[in-house]
A and B are shown apart, each in its own frame.
Chain A
């Protein structure tokens, strides 16, 4: 495997630490009542967004799920805008209307935060269709979990994308559970790659705990998609270290299993590798922590200071305001 150069490697470590600290802070804020609703943390899965997202350009599209804080941050949506959204304030990236599960930023071609499992896949196909019909060389990356593979929309969407040779990278974050139901308990055929292949989409399995493996494989797949070779499917094998949401007693998995995966923590393992290469020392690592802590504190202060939408504005943005006739 080719490795990342020093600077990009350090940036990806920084990005993963940033996601981790940001989300750990949101879990605290949830306990404090600042954030409500559902809160689905990406902790443990950071290598995927950190490895893939820097490979995309401004013209590319990202469609995501309800576990998307890391995707949005890695795509460039500011920590301030994401935090304010989770607080439900008007300076949030969706004016506070969406919350944790519905982060949007058209400036980043980040098309949400879709909380219907597999609901984002048809949307991604359509974004790619628009690019193909307009002759643009953009790529659409569609993130979803392994649970989505059981949905009809997965099968319909991969077929359509392959049939029309559309530029979509279907990125399956296989964290081994559809909420609390283990993969082998819901899938007669537990290998999502075989399903994708059966639908005419070339598929590849990648270690989603290794940011360099993610980066290398994603670069190759995105290049193939961008060249017009049609859609690709990638399964990132990963694990969520924390509960499905904040209301999950985790009765369905053992502490031993969680501990085994934690030994492969994408941040700790990558940091150890970078230390072996002599690219980072204690001081540099502490500098990352300090920068991230400062950014997260700033985001929280920003969100806390952001106003609530006046209730008189309740009905705005249901439909698009018409120009005066």
Chain B
């Protein structure tokens, strides 16, 4: 076991990929000389050179599209977009090109592209750097969307994503980069298809992903101290969703709280709620509850930002409400 940060786990995954496959290269804004906005790629330029660690101009559409073109031309690009808010500038390439090429071409053109982007709030970066727009991408057939919430997934998901023949978007929550923990020696590729039960419990299922996982685990601990055994499901894959793991847990606990840093309206939580209604309504003993971000552009002041986001206290309260307010 080694002690490592989430940031270092992502970096280790990049180094591993660059070493194992000479078709892999990293492109994005300030990934090279600057070392990455969140310092993820620091040192990689020196190790792998400017051909494979490519600083791009502030042209999200062009360098994402170039990643798509390079992927169909035989490379295995990893494109880094500084934040999900900036990815809106590349939405055309991601939604109209990467997601459609295989289908429009009648199955001739697969796009083995990996796009990494930072997401989420918590650093007082205000309303153009802090949003959680994962669901926009999770809406689109042809894309795969994953959110590593743990060190092992930060280390392992990148290689798995690179093995996928289709475009994969990897969301790294900014609040996780400094998380520190133990990573087993030899940690490597992980299964992208399955959600994971991060804490077993019998009373209520808390379903979440990405940067909300630590908050949900904290809430589960508080609940345990109050005699409520919460099961925590980490979605890991946002598209496709692992219905089997989600519904199996809810069928055991009969209660579900969905925790999603996206805005409530049309959120991933809304989608999962609908699936629970479709697939296990009669197993439920309480209405499905949602803890999402408040419907406001993320504000700058810390107290307002924190008030806008899901917090452990709100998660605890929502879980207790499903138990009849115990």
Chain A residues proximal to chain B, CB less than 8 Å: 61, 92-98, 102, 104-106, 111-114, 116, 119, 121-131, 133-134, 152-153, 156-157, 159-160, 163, 316-320, 322
| Contact residues in B for A119 (Cβ distance below 8 Å) | 65, 92-93, 96-97
B65 touches A153 (CB 8 A): yes
CB distance B107 to A317 under 8 Å? yes
Q: For the complex, give the distance between the alpha carbons of A159 and B56 in Å.
A: 11
Shortest CB-to-CB span from A140 to chain B, Å, is 8
What are 27 A-B contacts with C-beta separation under 8 Å?
Answer: A92-B106, A93-B106, A97-B104, A104-B106, A104-B109, A106-B108, A112-B105, A116-B92, A122-B69, A123-B65, A123-B93, A125-B62, A126-B66, A126-B67, A126-B70, A129-B66, A129-B69, A129-B75, A133-B51, A153-B61, A156-B62, A159-B59, A160-B63, A163-B57, A318-B103, A320-B102, A320-B110
> A122-B64, A160-B56, A319-B141 known; 11 other A-B pairs, CB under 8 Å?
A102-B104, A104-B109, A112-B109, A122-B61, A123-B69, A123-B97, A125-B66, A126-B66, A129-B73, A131-B73, A316-B107
| A157 in contact with B142 (CB, 8 Å) | no
| Chain A min CB distance to B251 (Å) | 26
Q: Given B59, B104, B110, which contacts A104 in the complex, CB threshold below 8 Å? A: B104
Q: Is residue B297 contacting chain A, with contact meaning CB distance below 8 A?
A: no
User: How many A-B pairs fall under 8 Å by CB?
Assistant: 148
Residue pair A152, B61 in contact (C-beta under 8 Å): yes
Task: State whether B61 touches A130 (Cβ < 8 A).
Answer: no
Q: Would you call A130 and B57 a contact (CB within 8 A)? A: no
CA distance A273 to B101 in the complex (A): 42
Chain A residue at smallest Cβ distance from B60: A156
Do B57 and A134 have beta carbons less than 8 Å apart? no
Closest to A115 in B: B96
Most buried by A among B62, B68, B70: B62
Q: Are B61 and A160 in contact (CB under 8 A)?
A: no
With A97-B103, A129-B73 already in contact, the answer to whether A122 and B68 are too (CB < 8 A) is yes
Of the listed residues A95, A105, A126, the one surrounded by the most CB atoms of chain B closer than 10 A to its CB is: A126
Q: Across the interface, which residues of A come within 8 angstroms of B68, CB to CB?
A: 122-123, 126
Cα distance A203–B106 in the bound complex, in angstroms: 36
For residue A142, give the distance in angstroms from its CB to the closest CB of chain B.
Answer: 10
Contacts of B62 in A (CB 8 A): 121-122, 125, 153, 156-157, 159-160
